[in-house]
Amino acid sequence: MVMNREQALEGLIGFTKPITDIRKDLLAFPWDSEKELVVLRASHLRQILRRFLDGNLKAEDVEEWADAIEARDDIGFEIDLLKDFIFEFANAALNGLLDRNRASEILEKIS
């Protein structure tokens, strides 16, 4: 199935398949964008954190997901706080890997 850029980005923010496949999908499109094409919402982050807490995603998966999102100009953020969390997850070397306590804390903040 041929997808457009918005569909590929929706797949990324929804983490709909393995991150390596999502990154391959995105390679078909330029990195730079004049405008935001999709918006990362608190509901997306809640879904990712629940998947992590349920054991369906590892901390490394969340790190890779956030890394693929961080610094893209074609993804907007519903609230600025989400940018902070994406930065935190994408930079585990600085902030440490996500753990269950932190995931629960963040879920509380964005619920």
pLDDT 10s digits, 52-83 = 999 999 999 999 999 999 989 999 999 999 99
Residue 2 pLDDT exceeds 80? no
When the pLDDT of each residue in the chain is averaged and rounded to a whole number, the result is 95
Range of the domain at 61: 5-110
Domains in the chain, number: 1
How far, in Å, CA of 40 to CA of 11, rounded?
A: 11
Kindly list the distances between the CA atom of residue 55 and the CA atoms of 25, 48, 51, 67, in Å, as whole numbers in the listed order.
26, 11, 6, 20
